Amino acid sequence: MKQLLILTSDFIPNIGGIAVDTLRLFNLLKRDFEIDLYAFGIKGCDSENIHYINAPKVLFPIYLNKIVNSKKYDAILVRTVLPLGWMLNKLHVKAKKVYFVYGQELVHDNTYKPLLRKSVKEIIKEADIIIAISNFTNSLIDNRGSVFYPLIEKSAESTAIKDKLFFNLLTAGRFVKHKNYISVLRMIKDIDAEVFQKTNKHVRLNIVGDGPLKREFENYIVENKISDIAKISGRVPISEMNKFYSESDIVIMPSIRTGESVEGFGMVAQESGLLGSITVGYDSGGIRESIIDSELLAKENDEDALRNIIIKLLTDKDFYEEKMRFSVSRAQKMLADEKRLSEFKGILNL
């Protein structure tokens, strides 16, 4: 049986797309491979074949050298090329080097030229295989990689039900500039007024997450007197997100491209779609490949267009049900199943 090694500095108990997708990839690959995973710079409890290296970054190369030479690995999958791919390139390894790129780190490098290390594009040139999470991300590296979309898993369905008295809107993620959640807060009052006029039901917006812009969002809600229709739930464990997805009628992805960041794909559209919710958003970065349906996408930062999409979904039952069926169907194609495993094995060519 072939042996694989996964290296990452973003893993459970961290919260975020890369961390979750890495765990799902690990679980998928262990069906057909002997596999070890090492998470650097994270405090966690070791389990079978999963190990945490909670040490200063300056010591990473020492640990890395011991790990890659501990077994005859056929391939080393580097989920975070910064810093692990950069460090791995300084070692002599016989295994295939498989480097993942997501988009954000590539855009960041274009804006802030690294001084003490090579750029991400230079680092991944030494990979045997490059894997991009979307065609958009692949375009940032001149389509030199293979595209493998993030995985989702069908867990036990939440017992939560949609509120019959209100329409529930949800945004979820880190509160940073490119996620652009302030855009939704600006439009929520108008959405509520028009939807109530047409359906006699109010909307409720729940913003789930945390980050440096949290205080800005809280202040906006208070200053604009929308606390009755918008709230911030804070950070939620990954295990509880299904409840929020199940309760939501619409999930909103208002991300935009900024000078230093971009949405490489957008897993929430698939995760929520599997539980019967519809995702809408701006056509930015790789979001189009996640949502797919052009009728659910607005031009980047076109708040009028995005507001009208949301209102149409909530006031046109047939339109909503049509889009929900499509969302569920699309999400099912992203499940971590034997088809996705075969797809990944084809990329590895082992």
Tokens representing residue 292 in the block: 């797919």
Comparing 51-55, 170-174, 221-225, 296-300, the range with the smallest average pLDDT is: 170-174
Whether 209 and 119 map to the same domain: the answer is no
Q: Which residue has the higher pLDDT, 113 or 18?
A: 18
* 113 domain-assigned: yes
Q: Which domain holds residue 124?
A: 3-151+336-348
Distance CA 69, CA 82 (A): 20
Residue 46's pLDDT is what?
94
35: which strand partners?
4
Report CA-CA distances (Å) from 246 to 242, 314, 319, 345. Answer: 6, 16, 19, 33
Per-residue pLDDT reduced to its tens digit, 140-153: 999 999 999 999 98
Distance CA 46, CA 31 (A): 20
Residue 118's pLDDT is what?
83
Per-residue pLDDT reduced to its tens digit, 320-331: 999 999 999 999
Report CA-CA distances (Å) from 262 to 113, 180, 231. Answer: 17, 11, 25
Per the listing, tokens 């969302």 go with 327
Nearest to 244 by CA among 254, 232, 227: 232
Comparing 60-64, 164-168, 286-290, 338-342, the range with the smallest average pLDDT is: 164-168
pLDDT of residue 87 exceeding 80: yes
Whether 127 and 259 map to the same domain: the answer is no
Residue 77's pLDDT is what?
98
Whether 183 and 309 map to the same domain: the answer is yes
Residues 6 or more apart whose CB falls under 8 angstroms from that of 20 comprise: 12, 238, 267
Whether 88 and 185 map to the same domain: the answer is no
pLDDT band at 115 (very low <50, low <70, confident <90, very high): low
* 23 domain-assigned: yes
pLDDT of residue 337 exceeding 80: yes
Whether 82 and 146 map to the same domain: the answer is yes
pTM attached to this predicted model: 0.93
Whether 137 and 12 map to the same domain: the answer is yes
Per-residue pLDDT reduced to its tens digit, 190-205: 999 999 999 999 999 9
**What average pLDDT does range 167-192 have in this prediction?**
95
Distance CA 202, CA 195 (A): 7
Contact 313, 324 (CB under 8 A): no
Distance CA 301, CA 306 (A): 8
Whether 7 and 101 map to the same domain: the answer is yes
Per the listing, tokens 């075969």 go with 342
Per-residue pLDDT reduced to its tens digit, 212-263: 999 999 999 999 999 999 999 988 877 788 889 999 999 999 999 998 899 9
Whether 74 and 131 map to the same domain: the answer is yes
Percent of the chain with pLDDT strictly greater than 90: 83
Whether 56 and 89 map to the same domain: the answer is yes
Tokens representing residue 271 in the block: 């995760």
**What average pLDDT does range 46-66 have in this prediction?**
95
Contact 9, 39 (CB under 8 A): yes
Number of structural domains (the chain) is 2
DSSP 9-28: SS-TTS-SHHHHHHHHHHHH
Residue 259's pLDDT is what?
83
